Amino acid sequence: MLKQYLQFKLSQKLSPQQIQLMKLIQLPTQAFEQRLKQEMEENPALEGGKEENIDDNYDEFDNTDDNYDDSETIGEDINVDEYLSDDDIPDYRTQTNNYSADDDDKDIPFAAGTSFTQYLTNQLNTFRLSDNERDIAEFLVGSVDESGYIRRSLTDIADDLAFTQNVYTDEKSIEKVLHIVHQLDPAGVGARNLQECLSIQLHRKEKNPDVELAIAIIDKAFDQFTKKHYKKLLQKFDISEIQLKDAIDEIEHLNPKPGGSYAGNNKIVEHIVPDFAIKIIDGELELTLNGRNAPELHVSREYSDMMKGYKESKDKSKSQKDAVIFIKQKLDAAKWFIEAIKQRQQTLFVTMSAIMHYQQEYFLTGDERKLKPMILKDIADEIEMDVSTVSRVANSKYVDTPYGTKLVKEFFSESMTNDQGEEVSTREIKKILETVIEEENKRKPLTDEKLASILLEKGYPIARRTVAKYREQLDIPVARLRKKI
């Protein structure tokens, strides 16, 4: 049996303007500039720079003429008078801009250079190779990653050569050419794993007892070396601790990522442009927003004139009405965008200002131990905004401080209670943990259990598992791998 009934339901929906604002807030300065450029290219009703004759208050749109029909509409919902009225001056017309175009240098010079792959390929010209060998060598060089390794099996390389280059060969021939690639600079390039990379570098060094022993350790006892089983190495090679220490010193001076040492590499470098700047002036903190986040925008006068011209014309054709609908859409979009930019500036400044005052002790001293526990909700409650808005500001924005350029989200941390019942930041505990490990005896590194005991003595009751978690977050290896002879 079918039934009909009415149901009331409340639902929240985001308007296109709110979505646009959230996306703009999330963008860092450089991405924001690109988005601004894109919007100005797509919307001819939006213009940059200062607007000329800004004080005339739209006099040319004075609608006191008796010939005007105040109720003139196009279709059902477009009122031309809304775009010509002189009663209210739009907010964007009264907005002031305190940022100078000279505040920031917008040009970032890029140095031209030769790519790492081309650098290696050029070196092949110094070897006498057959056409087949050169094809294989160039393919191998093209397989070298940014770290300088070839992380593919010879079988896969042979298959790819056959399918993509029409070069039919076997693994033995590829390995022969690979040894030629291993002679290229920087030393260690073309290695298939870390052991081979270190071995290649050691074999190219001038031979002496320390280097010879280092080669033996890498080639014959690599597993024991990586696990720092020094006693087994002493027994295996029948050497003294001093000899082992000298050999390990040779190994530690090698480059595990030879590709990273290529200075001419022209890969794209990420340039960080701080979105905020914090300075200490007369003992007080001063926050400024990067001027590039506050562009001068206004609605095109030409488009407004087109709207006026349509109203003044007596004969209104369908094509004219279609044009006015298009103009109306562009004018609306321009005004929405200008308002969104203004709200973005305000949101960024208010959020960062709240963070700055919350972490005032840190910004005045630069001591990470002064960082207070702070989560997104703390700032959201302070500025009476949603947590998601604070998250968008924190996750992608940088602030220039007297202690370096920092990612805003680095100032957020969880809290724990010390033995005196005070809330302390986990960042403070990590800093103390890092200091304790730096000062430990490297011949007998401290275990996680011992580190937990030391932190407890300092007033931080933390479980061993938590110490292990913090140590991993600091990218510090376990005690056994920190051991030095």
Q: Token pair 């488009």 is at which residue?
A: 303
User: What whole-number distance in Å separates Cα of residue 192 and Cα of residue 150?
Assistant: 5
Q: Would you say residue 388 has pLDDT above 70?
A: yes
Residue 350 has pLDDT above 90, yes or no: yes
More confident residue, 141 or 81: 141
Average pLDDT over residues 363-371: 83
Q: Residues 94, 156: one domain?
A: no
Percentage of the chain beyond pLDDT 90 is 7
Task: Give the Cα separation of 219 and 204 in Å (integer).
Answer: 14
pLDDT in tens, 226-238: 888 888 888 888 8
**Position 346: which residue type?**
Q
Does residue 202 lie within any of the structural domains?
yes
Q: Which of 412, 437, 465 is the last residue of a domain?
A: 412
Phi, psi for 129 (deg, rounded to 5): -125, 145
The total domain count for the chain is 3
Domain C-terminal end among 385, 412, 439: 412
Q: Between 412 and 270, where is the model more confident?
A: 412
Whether 50 is covered by a domain: the verdict is: yes
pLDDT > 80? residue 216: yes
Establish if 248 belongs to a structural domain: yes
CA distance 13 to 60: 39
Average pLDDT, the chain: 78
Flag whether pLDDT at 345 surpasses 60.
yes
Structure-model confidence comparison of residues 405 and 57, the more confident one: 405
Q: What is the mean pLDDT of residues 21-39?
A: 84
**CATH assignment of the domain containing 459:** 1.10.10.60
Q: Is pLDDT of 221 > 90?
A: no
pLDDT at res. 57: 38
Which tokens sit at 414?
A: 């969880």
Residue 130 lies in domain: 116-261
Is there a single domain that holds both residue 148 and residue 218? yes
Amino acid letter for position 295 = P
Same domain membership, residue 301 and residue 193: no
What's the rounded Cα separation, in Å, for the pair 226 and 210? 18
Residues 90, 34 within the same domain? yes
250-259 burial, b at 16+ Cβ within 10 Å, e below that, comes to bbeebbbebb
Question: Average pLDDT of 7-27?
Answer: 70
Task: Please check whether residue 111 lies inside any domain of the structure.
Answer: no
What are the CA-CA distances from residue 74 to residues 70, 199, 228, 252 (Å)?
Answer: 12, 80, 82, 78
- In-domain check, residue 288: yes
Crossing angle of helices 387-396 and 16-26, rounded to 10°: 40
Which long-range contacts (C-beta less than 8 Å, at least 24 apart) are formed by 328-334?
Answer: 328/74, 328/78, 328/83, 330/43, 330/44, 330/45, 330/46, 330/303, 331/45, 331/83, 331/299, 331/303, 331/304, 331/307, 333/43, 333/45, 333/46, 334/43, 334/45, 334/46, 334/297, 334/299, 334/300, 334/303
User: At 51, is the pLDDT very low, low, confident or very high (cuts 50, 70, 90)?
Assistant: low
Q: Measuring CA to CA, which residue among 295, 252, 257 is closest to residue 149? A: 257
Residue at 8 is within a domain = no
67 and 84 inside one domain: yes
For CA atoms 107, 113, 116, 117, the dihedral sign is positive
Position 3 in a domain: no
Whether 249 shows a pLDDT value over 90: the answer reads: no
Do 88 and 217 reside in the same domain of the chain? no
Put residue 467 in one of left, alpha, beta given phi > 0 → left and psi -120 to 50 → alpha: alpha
Name the domain boundary from 394, 412, 430. 412
Whether 421 and 402 share a structural domain:
no
Same domain, residue pair 202 and 71: no
pTM of the prediction?
A: 0.53
Query: How many Å from the N-terminal Cα to the C-terminal Cα in the chain?
Result: 86
Predicted pLDDT at 55: 41
Report, as an integer, the average pLDDT of 418-444. 77
As a dihedral over the C-alpha atoms of residue 460, residue 463, residue 469, residue 470, rounded to 10 degrees, the angle is 10
Tokens at residue 219, please? 């080639």
Residue 61 lies in a domain: yes
Neighbours of 71 (CB within 10 A): 8
Is 419 found in the same domain as 377? no
pLDDT band, very low/low/confident/very high, at 114 (cuts 50, 70, 90): low
- Write the pLDDT tens digit of every residue in 253-310: 888 888 876 655 454 455 678 889 999 998 899 999 888 877 878 777 787 777 777 6
Q: What is the percentage of the chain residues whose pLDDT exceeds 70?
A: 77
247 shares its domain with 307: no
Q: What is the pLDDT of residue 357?
A: 92
Range with the poorest average pLDDT among 97-111, 379-393, 394-408, 471-485 = 97-111
Instruction: Give yes or no: residues 300 and 244 share one domain.
Output: no
Q: Domain check: are 210 and 223 in the same one? A: yes
Q: Confidence class of residue 67 from pLDDT cuts 50, 70 and 90?
A: very low
